[in-house]
A = this chain, B = another copy of it.
């Protein structure tokens, strides 16, 4: 079985996980729009693809998958997910299974306004969100909302242009800045469908958690692994502990059953007065997955087994709790 990871970026560990699963029974291919990727060092085969928004992107991938008999494609980047989700059938026709959720679910994850609507429509707690700055100012003057307010790109990735407004001057300035940042980055592509490119959210105070909601390839929820974030830096988790928080777990099992997503859903949660608020959803392996893997969860293995039509026991997608993982940095010669 051959596996290809697209938009692989810096995630060398994903290549290693899949190589370990495949052993001598298949190759790991990686694909990225530039070669500035440490993942290229570890993959069996690598290729530089056109940019995701290039009209040649999907034809290029189809051709490459056919030529190299790729059985499974997994993307690690939000914008790429949507593109692949929309062309899933074409890959199916050449015998390549794209492990990606329905386009409607990817859109719910990529568009933070749709995330908010989806969550509240389905009775999950989420931070109060707005698209209209004047509505925010009005709500605050009425005492129905208060500073600080989080200002961020509606179709944001990572911590690009995420900022906190403490007063109206901040709010106006950060809105202008966010719009400029969007116009000057790849965020402009997804944002182009709307004029409301910035989203405003109440700033929750509480303990932050991350989670992997694991569904099988038919979209049935199989497990949820929760990590308590103990230290963050530049929007990424430096230290996290795997925990057994029943309240969060039950909420996310219900979320997984609602999204019916495929394979992994990476999630951010804030616990506020004992209630789990869902902040973000990413329909893919997220930066926090290595913590679950450290605890013994092997979702890459489960995906390969499921793709072969085999059943996967719960142990394969479970992690020990109580253990803490630290991010460590190495410089590797290429």
Contacts and interface: CB of A to CB of B under 8 A. Distances in A.
Q: Which 8 A-B pairs have the closest CB atoms?
A: A234-B234, A38-B326, A290-B331, A325-B331, A328-B330, A328-B332, A173-B173, A36-B231
A333 interface: yes
A228 to B, nearest CB: 13
A13 interface: yes
Number of copies: 2
A226 to B, nearest CB: 16
Contacts of A333: 294, 323-325
Contact of A239 (B36, B291, B328, B330): B36
A169 interface: yes
Nearest to A41: B326
B329 A325 contact: no
Contacts of A36: 230-231, 238-239
Contacts of A41: 326
Interface in A37-61: 38, 41
A293 interface: yes
A10 interface: yes
A169 B235 CA distance: 27
A137 interface: no
Interface string A280-295: 0000000000110110
Interface hub of A36, A169, A173, A329 (most chain B Cβ within 10 A): A329
Interface hub of A10, A12, A13, A324 (most chain B Cβ within 10 A): A10
Contacts of A326: 38, 41, 331-332, 334
A334 B329 contact: no
A10 B330 CA distance: 12
B12 A331 contact: no
A70 to B, nearest CB: 25
Given A290-B331, A294-B333, 9 more contacts: A12-B328, A12-B329, A13-B331, A41-B326, A293-B331, A324-B334, A328-B329, A328-B330, A328-B332
A329 B173 contact: no
Nearest to A293: B331
A328 B330 CA distance: 5
A89 interface: no
5 contacts: A38-B328, A159-B234, A290-B329, A325-B331, A327-B331
A179 to B, nearest CB: 13
Contacts of A230: 36
A214 B261 CA distance: 54
A303 B323 CA distance: 37
A231 B32 CA distance: 15
Contacts of A159: 234
Interface string A192-220: 00000000000000000000000000000
Contacts of A169: 173
A173 B290 CA distance: 39
A290 to B, nearest CB: 4
